[in-house]
Chain A
Amino acid sequence: MRKNKIFSRKTLAVPYAVFLILFVVIPLFLIVAYAFTDENGMLTLSNFSTFFSGGHNINTLMFSIFIGMLNTAICLLLGYPAAFFLAKKGMGFGKATVLLFVMPMWINFVLRTAATRDLLFWMGISGGEHPYLATMIGMVYNYLPFVILPLYTTMTKMDISLIEASYDLGANKVQTFFKTILPMTMPGVVSASTMVFMPTMSSYVISDVMGERKISLIGNSIQLYFDQGLWHIGSLVALIMLVIIAFGSLCTDSAPEEEVRGGLW
């Protein structure tokens, strides 16, 4: 038999695959390798003992998780109704209003955060005096658009007739919301949460700028190790975060998330 002459379109992905292996897969393996070795390349668990001794780092970790959850909850509470109203027919909100919510994303993240700090300062809330409050406000400001967008996309795809069916079958507004609308928008909620939780606990810029370096999150720890060139212990912290991320993405099915994200344009 002659050689198969039909061109395979799969080969187009080869450069992309090579790129992924070089700059995504290998770096992750290096993180794991570094976390279990010392400066001389010897296998060790000393990074663990350094990290977990004193309790300071564990406090930071716990605090970061707490801040992440708190921010996720606040953003969902504020963003869910907004997305719902935006998606609701007959409300008169066009796609332009949705884009207005997204537009701050086009202004540089550091500049935006600094602007928020200036606003708070002008209002008399100084980051130096109220680091926690200022940081939380900064977090909500920054991540609210990330919540509204996926929720809005899920809600516009929602089948309205199911809500009508719910009313038709005798459910009142509250029952309809909890038994029909909320379960149907759950993929959006999950996607929004993953887009807020992880970045919140790992971001060090917002806590630095808003809290005037009085608040330390897990991201700050990594950045500190980076500044000092302590790659091994830095890798260990990164590895811990990776484990949390992996755990999180196992708990939430990541499939609907792509759909939601693709709908920006």
Chain B
Amino acid sequence: MKEKVIIELKNVSKHFGQTYAVEDFSLRVKKGEFVTFLGPSGCGKTTTLRMIAGFELPTGGEILLNGEDIAQLPPYERPVNTVFQKYALFPHMDVYDNIAFGLKLKKIEDGGKMRHLTKEEIDKKVKNALKIVDLEDYDYRDISTLSGGQQQRIAIARAIVNEPEILLLDEPLGALDLKMRKDMQLELKAMHKKLGITFIYVTHDQEEALTLSDTVVVMKDGMIQQVGSPEDIYNEPNNAFVANFIGESNIYSGTYKGDMKVRFINHTFDCVDEFPKNEKVDIVIRPEDVHIKENEEGMAKGKIVSKIFKGIHYEYILMVGRNELVVVDTRSFDVGKTYMFDIEPDGIHIMKKELTANIYNDAYIDKQNRVVISETPFPCDITALVQGSSLDDEGYVVGPDGTKYDFTDADVVATIGLDAIEILDDDESGIVRGEIVSIIYKGDHYQLTIRTPEDEDFVLDTEYTYDENDLVGLNVKPEDIKLKLKGEAKQYAKK
């Protein structure tokens, strides 16, 4: 029975107008599984949950519950129940009526006839649900007299009393304080075991996801980044985003040197992964996989610049050349001193580099010889399209053989290097403006993703500190935009 798939999402998408909230989401959930959707806010996790609940209709794909497509079914006809982030208890009803709400509406089959539940049946179920959430004597309490934790329990009781096939939980612990969260986490886990219901849980708290789940689905920008057990996700992150999001980690850019050797932070280390020789890669190192040597020799050395006591261990920041390396260790070392350290070969996680440059496939040239990327014209060096050419007075490109080219509306591929984009604090002063949607620290610099109002992303490297959601302006020098014509130059030759 354990292997039975209870719900399957097939290529589910949801877009609001032009923007995608969820894109091509496919997942199978087994009966009795505890699955968590994990990701930063706006990653589409809640939208996915709401599509399963029926509050949003997918714009594409199928949602199969026990093999039947329920994607277009209204919420009140689905055998799933939801625990809402802020509980959504009915304020004008007492605890009992809140829990009994669903039961009173329910019809069951009895001797071939449909009938409502009797008072006694409802009473029994409500009492039982209250018992499960440990609030036996609270039946006639007013909702507003309950603490946040108690309200949360009532919200859970209200959902599970209907014996749903799947229980959906939308950041249910988000409004509780830290201590209460920890307690509730354990209780939820115990409840899941006891009830045997499939749980689908949404959170942005990676620790919560790792603690609770059988399977974690990491999401970003409406797309699944990785699906796996908590151990897999932590130990073998698919990409820099997952590594950065799950747990503390050091992320660097490096080069695979071949023969299980990888070079980053100006040192070459042994590793256990294989990649094509000289490929650019991302490297993730968990702080606990670095071992500081007290006296012996090590692979490299770094100077401790910061030391923070964290209760059971110390957190150090080592400067290795220009790069920062975060290390945790239970032993005490001195700030200001230089130490040797080792990194275990299987502690070096190597990932295919996601992005080496910004590539825009649907750029085109406008009348003023600028390249238009995401509806914004950028000045560029258009003569690069034809080797040895120059611009004449009328703005036409003239080739070395004297041929005139008119590149207006020509489709091109524009490439901008990660270090070629200049970031400006004043969002009005650049060529294009946007909002910082992600920040990844890479040892000696940050990699920022800036999203324009037209939903185009620009990724750049910078040494300066910014915050997520900052509005910034971007500038690119004309010579830093590499252009490649789609098709032949002679198509654009002027007769």
Contacts and interface: CB of A to CB of B under 8 A. Distances in A.
Interface of A: 1-7
Contact of B54 (A1, A2, A3, A6): A6
Q: Which 9 A-B pairs have the closest CB atoms?
A: A2-B72, A6-B74, A5-B74, A1-B72, A4-B57, A5-B72, A4-B72, A6-B57, A5-B73
Interface string B69-88: 00011110100000000000
A5 B73 CA distance: 7
Nearest to B54: A6
A54 B77 CA distance: 73
A6 B51 CA distance: 12
Interface string B47-83: 0000000100100000000000000111101000000
A7 B55 CA distance: 11
A6 B73 CA distance: 7
B72 A7 contact: no
Contacts of B77: 5
A4 B71 CA distance: 10
The CB with the most chain A CB atoms within 10 A, among B72, B75, B77, is that of: B72
Contacts of B72: 1-5
14 contacts: A1-B72, A2-B72, A3-B72, A4-B57, A4-B72, A5-B72, A5-B73, A5-B74, A5-B77, A6-B54, A6-B57, A6-B74, A6-B75, A7-B74
A163 B441 CA distance: 42
Grouping DSSP codes into helix (H, G, I), strand (E, B) and loop, the B interface class, with mixed when no group exceeds half, is loop
A4 B56 CA distance: 11
B107 to A, nearest CB: 18
Interface of B: 54, 57, 72-75, 77
A30 to B, nearest CB: 37
Given A4-B72, A5-B72, A5-B77, 11 more contacts: A1-B72, A2-B72, A3-B72, A4-B57, A5-B73, A5-B74, A6-B54, A6-B57, A6-B74, A6-B75, A7-B74
A120 B74 CA distance: 67
A4 B75 CA distance: 12
Nearest to A2: B72
Contacts of A7: 74
A226 to B, nearest CB: 48
A6 B74 CA distance: 5
B334 to A, nearest CB: 45
Nearest to B62: A1
Contacts of B57: 4, 6
A6 B77 CA distance: 10
Contacts of A3: 72
B13 to A, nearest CB: 13
A77 to B, nearest CB: 42
B16 to A, nearest CB: 15
Contacts of B54: 6
A1 B54 CA distance: 15
A4 B73 CA distance: 8
B65 to A, nearest CB: 15
Nearest to B60: A1
The CB with the most chain B CB atoms within 10 A, among A4, A6, A7, is that of: A6
Nearest to B77: A5
A7 B386 CA distance: 59
A2 B73 CA distance: 9
A262 B481 CA distance: 55
A5 to B, nearest CB: 5
A4 to B, nearest CB: 6
Contacts of A5: 72-74, 77
A54 B69 CA distance: 77
Contacts of B75: 6
B19 to A, nearest CB: 21
Nearest to A3: B72
B44 to A, nearest CB: 20
B183 to A, nearest CB: 36
A3 B74 CA distance: 11
A109 to B, nearest CB: 37
A3 B73 CA distance: 9
A5 B71 CA distance: 11
Nearest to A5: B74
B75 to A, nearest CB: 8
A100 to B, nearest CB: 32
A28 B230 CA distance: 65
A7 B77 CA distance: 12
Contacts of B73: 5
Nearest to B55: A6
A5 B57 CA distance: 10
A3 B71 CA distance: 11
Nearest to B56: A6
The CB with the most chain B CB atoms within 10 A, among A3, A4, A5, A7, is that of: A5
A6 B76 CA distance: 9
Contacts of A2: 72
Nearest to B72: A2
A3 B72 CA distance: 7
A82 B74 CA distance: 55
A2 B71 CA distance: 9
A7 B75 CA distance: 10
Contacts of A6: 54, 57, 74-75
